[in-house]
Amino acid sequence: MQKKKIVFITGAGMSAESGISTFRDSDGLWENHRIEDVASPEGFKRNPKLVLDFYNARRKQLFEVEPNEAHKLIAQLEENFIVDIITQNVDDLHERAGSTKVLHLHGELRKARSTKNEKHCIAWDADLNEGELCPDGHQMRPHIVWFGEMVPEIENAMKIVQKADIVVVVGTSMQVYPAAGLVYEASSNADLYFIDPNPNISGMQKVKVFAKTATEGMKELVEILMK
């Protein structure tokens, strides 16, 4: 029998239990910084050192945390399903938990790219500083999709969702576009699940909601899927 295809769309709540602070706190700040100062092309142009230092700190934090049980439960589903993950997170916790097909919509902390040519993108685990240049002589920057920038992987993500038998949204408010629109790409025959402590989803008739943390919701979902 052919394995069913599950697509997980994950956000900040997925990694919160690992100790990574959610992208935007209730006061609108990210790690005490205004979003426009550390997550926009204008902020980088205005104060590149601030932005580079900010992501250096986020990268260091990444090496101090581990995948949580929800990450591991998703990875284990590959034994019985074809599993794709589309994540808004810039950490690599899905990969470290064992998931093999992860598409990062908003970039990756452990990569850097040229400010001139975004196709020049390389693995990067050290601090990234002013004066770190790519081969064509341009400053390197974090491989992060900032506000106001295109999301290059969005079309690939849409195609993945369209082929899914099951779509599961975990740990995201589904308020940030274009990612928020992905769930509406699902086939009318697909089963839809939404896991978040504060579920906020509208306009969808047949979605099954788990108002729980990522781990608690995933435990319940796995029981349903494995029946």
Annotated catalytic residues are 106
Tokens of residue 188, six digits: 């009318």
Please give the Cα distance from 40 to 50 (Å, whole number).
Answer: 12
* Alpha-carbon separation of residue 100 from 8, 35, 71, 109, 190 (angstroms): 13, 31, 12, 18, 22
Pairing of strands 207-210, 33-34: unpaired
Residues in Cβ contact with 103 at an 8 Å cutoff, skipping those fewer than 6 apart:
84, 85, 86, 87, 153, 156, 157, 160
